[in-house]
Chain A
Amino acid sequence: MHEWALAESVLSAAQENAEKEHFKTIKEITIRLGELQQIEQDIFEFALKELAKTEGKKLKHVKFHFEQEKSMLQCTRCEHTWGFDEMKKTLGVDESEAIHFIPEIAFVHARCPKCASPDFDIIKGRGVSISSMKGS
Chain B
Amino acid sequence: MEPRISIINKRLQNVKRVIVVASGKGGVGKSLISSGLALHLSKKGCRVGLLDLDFYGPSSHIILGVHDVFPKEDKGLIPPKISGISFMSLVFFTKDKPAPFRGGDITNVILELLAITQWGSLDFLIIDMPPGIGDETLDVLRFIKKSEFLVVTTSSKVAYGAVEKLLVILKEQKIPLLGVVENMKQGSSSIIEDEIVSRDIRYLGSILFDTHIEDAIGNTDNLLKTTFMKELAVCFDRIFF
Contact = CB atoms under 8 A, between A and B. Distances in A.
A98 B116 contact: no
Interface string A2-34: 101110111011101100000000000000000
Nearest to B5: A13
Contact of A4 (B4, B76, B93, B113): B76
B94 A8 contact: no
B6 A102 contact: no
A4 B5 CA distance: 16
B72 to A, nearest CB: 10
Interface in B107-163: 108-109, 112-113, 115-116, 118
A59 interface: no
A103 B108 contact: yes
Interface string A88-119: 00000011001001111101110000000011
Nearest to B116: A5
A73 interface: no
Contacts of A81: none
Contacts of B112: 101-104, 127
Main secondary structure on A side of the interface with B: helix
Contacts of B180: none
B174 interface: no
Contacts of A101: 77, 93, 112, 116
A88 to B, nearest CB: 16
A121 B101 CA distance: 10
B63 to A, nearest CB: 21
Nearest to A132: B1
B15 to A, nearest CB: 16
Contacts of B6: 9, 12-13, 16
Name the interface size band of chain B: 20 to 34
A107 B105 contact: yes
Interface in A66-103: 94-95, 98, 101-103
A2 to B, nearest CB: 5
Name the interface size band of chain A: 35 or more
Interface string B1-44: 11111110010000000000000000000000000000000000
A93 to B, nearest CB: 13
A8 B100 contact: no
Centre residue among A14, A104, A109 by max chain B CB count within 10 A: A104
B75 A102 contact: no
Centre residue among B2, B7, B101, B115 by max chain A CB count within 10 A: B7
Contacts of A121: 102
Nearest to B1: A130
19 contacts: A2-B75, A4-B75, A4-B76, A5-B76, A5-B116, A6-B115, A8-B10, A9-B115, A13-B1, A13-B5, A14-B3, A16-B6, A101-B93, A102-B109, A102-B113, A105-B94, A119-B102, A129-B2, A130-B3
Given A5-B75, A9-B6, A129-B2, 10 more contacts: A2-B73, A2-B76, A2-B116, A4-B75, A6-B4, A13-B7, A102-B93, A105-B99, A129-B3, A131-B1
Interface of B: 1-7, 10, 73-77, 90, 93-95, 97-102, 105, 108-109, 112-113, 115-116, 118
Interface of A: 1-2, 4-6, 8-10, 12-14, 16-17, 94-95, 98, 101-105, 107-109, 118-119, 121-122, 126-131, 133
